[in-house]
Amino acid sequence: MAGEVPFGQETAWVTPLPSPTVGGGGVSSITFSTHIAASPARCLEVALDPARYPEWNKFCRSAVIEKPAPASAIEGLDASLAFLTKGDGVAKEGLLLLGTEFCFKVYLDEDSENGRDTHLVVTVLEEIVHEGRKGFRVAWATRGGNWVQHAERTQDFIESADGKGTDYYNKETFYGVVSYAIKPFVGAKLVRALDLWRDGLKCEAEKS
């Protein structure tokens, strides 16, 4: 995905990009990329830890785990993701690991007190290599998605070329007939909401 989204791109709607587990055939995608002065591991931990969300995430102010990751997913974690465990194959508590089912409370209006529940599942959690630089990828998708509406969001955290931080890439692709209404009706709000996510995650990850 990092190769699909130009580095330094502001949040924008683009022609549909394939997602990791759903593939092509999307209606539209929304993307951004930026630099974070923290390691890819640190950035990934922030993204996977819903307990921290109220501190930095104005878009998704809470994330409730509804079904933890299966034991097989934890046992099968790549060695590069060992920092997500407490050792001996035991995962740190409360993280959004592969197969975790969870619910985001989504706020498209940052001043609103009325959020909308979005039920998701982690579909990808892996080490990746982009242009010789290592990093991590996490993706999650709507649960129960079908031809009416479905979406999958992918985030890549890649070691920057100078080795002093992370190049952060994001894309979300929308599928299904209902998705044709997303950009016209809430497109601008979603751009702003993802700006808040990007800036909040960056600020949280860069804390010493």
For the chain, how many structural domains are there in total?
1
What residues are paired with 133 via a beta bridge? 130
Mean pLDDT, range 2-29, rounded to an integer: 96
Region of poorest pLDDT, from 67-71, 120-124, 191-195 = 67-71
- Assess if residue 5 is contained within a domain: no
Quote the crossing angle between the two packed helices 182-205 and 40-48, to the nearest 10°: 120
- Assess if residue 182 is contained within a domain: yes
Q: Residue 82's pLDDT is what?
A: 92
- Assess if residue 2 is contained within a domain: no
Q: What is the mean pLDDT of the chain?
A: 95
The structure tokens listed for 197 are 């996510």
> Sign of dihedral through CA atoms 202, 18, 97, 77?
negative
- Assess if residue 7 is contained within a domain: no
> Sign of dihedral through CA atoms 80, 83, 85, 86?
positive
The Cα–Cα gap between 131 and 17 comes to 20
In the 8-state DSSP scheme, what is residue 69? P
User: Residue 125 class from Cβ within 10 Å (0-12 exposed, 13-18 middle, 19+ buried)?
Assistant: buried
- Assess if residue 135 is contained within a domain: yes
- 188 contacts 18 by C-beta, under 8 angstroms: no
The structure tokens listed for 55 are 């501190």
- Assess if residue 195 is contained within a domain: yes
Whole-structure pTM over 0.85, yes or no?
Answer: yes
- Residue 33's domain spans which residues? 12-205
- Assess if residue 117 is contained within a domain: yes
- Assess if residue 169 is contained within a domain: yes
CATH code, 32:
3.30.530.20
Q: What are the tens digits of pLDDT across the range 144-159?
A: 888 899 999 999 999 9
The Cα–Cα gap between 101 and 39 comes to 26
